[in-house]
């Protein structure tokens, strides 16, 4: 009963017309920031996360503490647990689902391929089945796809209409599969679905398996970092790094413009074409990895020991660059944080979190430092 009370309390909106959102992967990096932002503006938010040990679970527990302080309750469970999902939907008439739970990262697939199938394909289907069974309301779903679906695409920048048939990793393939599966659930059950292709999201409380995070750690510890250079004749390895606050605004914009689902066939309601959308959420400004390292060196006041090697076929793609005009047109998405500014916020959080006492130098110094420090 107290569990149910917590679930209800957390999911109750505190503004007129507020949404009630189930956020899967709420103890994750993006999930935590989105949950806090939704709660702050008065929406009801319930988290769901299995707290898996893909990376340091204490970081997920730390985020959970933040969430709990803001009144967001996180149910500990798996998106593959159909009975749990049914129970949650019975207790709360969610208007929206923000589905962020997934097996992220590309290199880990070489060690645990099944985890990608389990969470990104089977888990997504379990969630869609649960949502499709609800009639009143049938929740609108916004879910995380990925820029990795563009794979070895050579376009510059990537637009949503570009080819996504050459994934470079199992992760990318499962995210692409998610987009195809979404089409089916939209077509058959009239579910309202919005996919967001995130581009290398970074920031405070970020993921330790991502380069900006472990570069910071290793540079501070005086360890050598491995920096990839392109194969002959290819572009410099670069990423369209996108600051978390910009991505959060994009997620909220997508939720705000998500139309209600049209409902199941035979549900007594007239069915119309339900919404099915996919958007890039990037920063529109790819930055070479050498420049990322130079900014970190400048912020940390430490020179990195670099081991520069040719990029192996390990699932990474050489280049990403988002065209965001679709998201801009439909919900005003407009990234505003450059990498030096965002990394400064990350590094400040990082040293604080780890109790490291170093002065973080200013982003202006970082911006003016050379990009060709290798
Ligand atoms: P994250 O790993 O920090 O968050 C995912 C959360 O989901 C974790 O807390 C994990 O415990 C949880 N989870 C995983 N499998 C689950 C399951 N089966 N049941 C319940 N919970 C489960 O990753 P993130 O960076 O916050 O990413 C959020 C989403 O955005 C993911 O779908 C990811 O694939 C996608 N994405 C992220 C980036 C990025 O740069 N961060 C880029 C593209 C796409």
pLDDT, tens digit, for every residue of 56-81?
999 999 999 999 999 999 999 999 99
Residue 87 is encoded by which pair of tokens?
A: 């129970």
**Residue by residue, what is the 3-state secondary structure of 265-331?**
CCCCCCCCCCCEEEEEECCCCCEEHHHHHHHHHHHHCCCCEEEEEECCCCCCCCECCECCHHHHHHH
In this predicted structure, what is the pLDDT of residue 8? Answer: 98
Question: Is the interface score ipTM higher than 0.90?
Answer: yes
Q: Residues lining ligand 1, CB < 6 A?
A: 25, 27-31, 49-52, 60, 78-80, 100-104, 119, 123, 144, 146, 198, 200-201, 207
Would the pLDDT of 271 be above 70?
Answer: no
Start-end of H helices in 92-228:
113-116, 123-132, 170-189, 211-220
* Exposure string over 355-374, b if 16+ CB within 10 A, otherwise e: eeeeebbebeebeebeeeee
Atom of ligand 1 nearest to the CA of 49: 21
Which residue, judged by its Cα, is nearest atom 11 of ligand 1? 51
Q: Is 150 a catalytic residue?
A: no
In this predicted structure, what is the pLDDT of residue 268? Answer: 45
Which residue, judged by its Cα, is nearest atom 17 of ligand 1? 78
Read off the pLDDT band of 371 (50, 70, 90).
very low
Atom of ligand 1 nearest to the CA of 32: 26
Per-residue pLDDT tens digits for 90-100: 999 999 999 99
In this predicted structure, what is the pLDDT of residue 359? Answer: 85
Please give the domain boundaries of the chain with CATH numbers for all domains.
Answer: 2-201+244-281 (3.40.50.720), 211-238+285-319+338-368 (3.90.25)
Read off the pLDDT band of 314 (50, 70, 90).
confident
**What pTM does this model have?**
0.95
Provide, rounded to the nearest whole percent, the portion of the chain with pLDDT above 90. Answer: 84
């Amino acid at each position: 009963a107290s569990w149910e009370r917590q679930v209800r309390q957390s999911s109750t909106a505190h503004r007129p017309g507020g949404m009630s959102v189930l956020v899967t992967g709420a103890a994750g990096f993006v999930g935590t920031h989105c949950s806090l932002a939704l709660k702050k503006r008065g929406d009801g938010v319930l988290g769901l996360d299995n707290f898996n040990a893909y990376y340091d679970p204490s970081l997920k527990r730390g985020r959970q503490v933040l969430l709990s302080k803001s009144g967001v309750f996180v149910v500990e469970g798996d998106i593959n647990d159909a009975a749990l999902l049914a129970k949650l939907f019975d207790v709360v008439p969610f208007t929206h689902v923000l589905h962020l739970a997934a097996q992220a990262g590309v290199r880990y697939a070489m060690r645990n391929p099944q985890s990608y199938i389990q969470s990104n394909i089977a888990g997504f289907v379990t969630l869609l089945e649960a949502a499709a069974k609800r009639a009143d309301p049938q929740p609108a779903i916004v879910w995380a796809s990925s820029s990795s679906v563009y794979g070895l695409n050579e376009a510059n920048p990537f637009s949503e209409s570009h080819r996504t048939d050459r994934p470079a990793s199992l992760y990318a393939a499962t995210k692409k599969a998610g987009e195809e599966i979404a089409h089916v659930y939209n077509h058959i059950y009239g579910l309202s679905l919005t996919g967001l292709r995130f581009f290398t999201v970074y920031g405070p409380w970020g993921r330790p398996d991502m380069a900006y995070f472990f570069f910071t750690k290793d540079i501070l510890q005086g360890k050598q970092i491995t920096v990839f250079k392109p194969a002959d004749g290819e572009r410099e390895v670069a990423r369209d790094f996108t600051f978390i606050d910009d991505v959060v605004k994009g997620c909220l914009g997508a939720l705000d413009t998500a139309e209600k689902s049209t409902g199941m066939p035979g549900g007594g309601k007239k069915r119309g074409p339900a919404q099915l959308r996919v958007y890039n959420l990037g920063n529109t400004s790819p930055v070479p990895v050498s420049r990322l390292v130079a900014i970190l060196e400048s912020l940390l006041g430490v020179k990195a020991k670099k081991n520069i090697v040719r990029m192996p076929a390990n699932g990474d793609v050489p280049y990403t660059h988002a065209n965001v005009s679709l998201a801009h047109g439909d919900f005003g998405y407009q990234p505003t944080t450059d990498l030096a500014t965002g990394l400064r916020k990350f590094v400040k959080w990082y040293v604080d979190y780890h109790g490291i006492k170093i002065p973080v130098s200013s982003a202006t110094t970082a911006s003016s430092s050379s990009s060709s420090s290798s």
